[in-house]
A and B are shown apart, each in its own frame.
Chain A
Amino acid sequence: MKESIIEISSIVKKYDDVKVLNEISFNVYKNEFVTLLGPSGCGKTTTLRIIGGFEAANEGKVLFEGKEINHLPPYKRQINTVFQNYALFPHMNVYENIAFGLKIKKLKDQIIENKVRKILKLVGLENFESRDIDSLSGGQQQRIAIARALVNEPKVLLLDEPLGALDLKLRKDMQVELKNIQKSLGITFIYVTHDQEEALTMSDRIIVMKSGSIQQVGSPINIYNEPINSFVADFIGESNIISGVMKDDYQVSFLGKTFECVDYGFKKMENVHIVIRPEDIDIVKKDSGLINGEVKSVIFKGVHYEINVLAKNFEFLIQSTKSSKIGNYVGLDFNPDDLHVMREMHYE
């Protein structure tokens, strides 16, 4: 059994009687990379701020290594934060920024200097000590913010959308780097993002949130392949979500046809959502697939084409390495285990 470092139990947070967190509970294990993923306003940042100590929960407990820390101010927590806007001190240079926490701990100057050197090397910014914060690029500021938090050797590092302001290329590089840093230092990371791809790339576990509640907790593979409801399916990667009816075990009906599937345990004739990933659909010759449709658009995306096919009033999104001609009638084919049937869930 893995050891929990942070336990969140039944956290409720209200702003002026509006509940922004509704009975949130989850555990974070030692050395784990956990991502809180959700659209803006889902409460993921609030959750992070409660763990950091910047906000107080109205109800519930925050445990750190088994001890309640609800009333502990941030400066007494063995947790450090990388802020969304980096929050680097503009009146200090790189060295002073990174040394800030160490100086407060009253470490010897020599030790501080060694630690700052080492951490700057780790984030790839050697010899940047005397640079002004203003003179750094966004990516460099980002690394300094991470270095400033990591140099204190926290047990848990909280990261609030730290890559949000970076361009795509830099973001991808930093994702890999962050993951490497986390592995090499063995620090627990709790990461907040709205970018599902970022979450899938870096996390050991993902916690998907929506309007103040947890939707699903699981590994990236588990969440991608077995989304618990249509919200998660839609949020994690692109999906075709179709309304249908569960005829019987292993029998689902949608778009006027009954298909074989691998799901069971639903009530007979229960309304369900069927999720099909765009990459799981094959385009075949007309009448040789399970359903026919007309190609509406083809967009080249680099590795694949994104093709929209209209079949019985539903526009399927299909990712394929082969192109199609707009206006062609084609067949769509998929396997029974490509259909993910889930209970209907209403969301805005």
Chain B
Amino acid sequence: MNSKSRYLAYPYSIWMLVFILFPLFLIFLYSITLRNPNDIKTITFTFENFGKFFDPIYVNVLIRSISIAALSTGICLIVGYPVAYLLTRAKDKHKGLMILLFILPMWMNMLLRTYAWMTILGNTGLINSFLNLLNLPNVNLLYNNKAVILGMVYNFLPFMVFPIYTALNKMDRSLIEAADDLGADGFTIFKRVIFPLSLPGVISGIVMVFMPAVSTFVIPRLLGGGKNVLIGNLIEKLFLVTRDWNFGAALSMIILIIIFISIKILNILKIDKESGVSI
């Protein structure tokens, strides 16, 4: 790298420092200190905030958050992989339109998109109105875990599709022909060649979906009705309602560590070193 081009990295470095590293450091600081309302000048260091987490109530919240996020990620993978595959096989002239249709909802605010689901699933919503029309009984669709998972899948699906699409798209067509030539039928080609080569994309997709899914608070609040609190809601409440920033910060650090560990594990599985997310 020559000396001039190094300056180009400065704006981003400063941005990182001010808006990412510094706040992260503050969160860390909050997580290991105690609030002293009488004297803000003295800081007491403690691990008490982390200790508080091991109350079964909070652990359960975390376990529930992780399992709902994992389930949503799994559904995204099952739904998203075929979509990505079809996108790569589409003719060039249709491809642009298909991708556009796919990212179009992402141009809208996430809050708005999630609200839209409330009007579809609600007691007086689209589906129930339709059922009433047919004189069928109302069904409870909103304010349960299923609605939360639906909201997560809907919101985060593109983050699964695009990394897989990219991995599949850059795959050399002649590899598929070679497998075909060597006697592999369609399923074998997928199992032995296409899927293993798309694994970096799959792993990136999992990371990209799991991360926001485990920490979101908007979707469980709107579609879950706040009945089943997830870790995101808990942190939000601690910061904004209870104003226990120290415990909130500790919980944030715990999520951070869990995400970090899961990415590390996924990276071990990754074969292609050049693509995808790596930390």
Q: A residues near B, CB below 8 A? A: 52-54, 73-75, 79-81, 83-85, 87-91, 100-101, 104-105, 148-149, 152
Contacts and interface: CB of A to CB of B under 8 A. Distances in A.
Interface in B173-218: 174-175, 177-185, 188, 192-193, 196-197
Contact of B180 (A73, A88, A105, A152): A73
A213 to B, nearest CB: 26
B271 interface: yes
Contacts of B196: 91
B181 A52 contact: yes
Given A89-B193, A91-B197, A83 B183 contact: no
Contacts of A80: 181-182
Q: Determine chain A's interface SS by DSSP, over half rule.
A: loop
A100 B180 CA distance: 11
B269 to A, nearest CB: 12
A100 B182 contact: yes
Contacts of A75: 180-185
Nearest to A84: B174
A104 B189 CA distance: 10
B92 interface: no
A63 B178 CA distance: 22
Given A100-B192, A104-B188, A89 B183 contact: no
Contacts of A89: 175, 178-179, 193
Contacts of B55: none
Contacts of B172: 85, 87
Contacts of B193: 89
Tell which of B182, B188, B271 has the most Cβ of chain A within 10 Å: B182
B177 A74 contact: yes
B181 A104 contact: no
> Chain B, interface size: which category?
10 to 19
Contacts of A87: 172, 174-175, 177-178
B183 A152 contact: yes
Interface string B103-126: 000000000000000000000000
Given A87-B172, A91-B197, A100-B192, A81 B184 contact: no
A83 B177 CA distance: 9
Interface string B134-147: 00000000000000
Tell which of B178, B181, B183 has the most Cβ of chain A within 10 Å: B181
Contacts of A52: 181
A119 to B, nearest CB: 13
B201 to A, nearest CB: 13
Nearest to B178: A87
A89 B185 CA distance: 16
B176 to A, nearest CB: 9
A54 B177 contact: yes
Contacts of A101: 182-183
B99 to A, nearest CB: 24
Nearest to A145: B178
A54 B177 CA distance: 7
Given A75-B182, A81-B178, A148-B178, 16 more contacts: A54-B180, A74-B181, A75-B180, A75-B183, A79-B181, A80-B182, A81-B177, A83-B177, A85-B172, A87-B174, A89-B178, A91-B196, A91-B271, A104-B182, A104-B184, A104-B188
Contacts of A83: 174, 177-178
Interface string B259-273: 000000000000110
B270 to A, nearest CB: 11
Nearest to B192: A100
Nearest to B176: A87
Given A74-B177, A100-B192, A90 B182 contact: no
Contacts of A53: 180
B132 to A, nearest CB: 53
In the A-B complex, the 4 residue pairs with the closest CB atoms: A101-B182, A87-B178, A87-B174, A74-B180
Contact of A152 (B174, B182, B192): B182
A87 B197 CA distance: 13
A294 B188 CA distance: 68
B181 A85 contact: no
A64 to B, nearest CB: 14
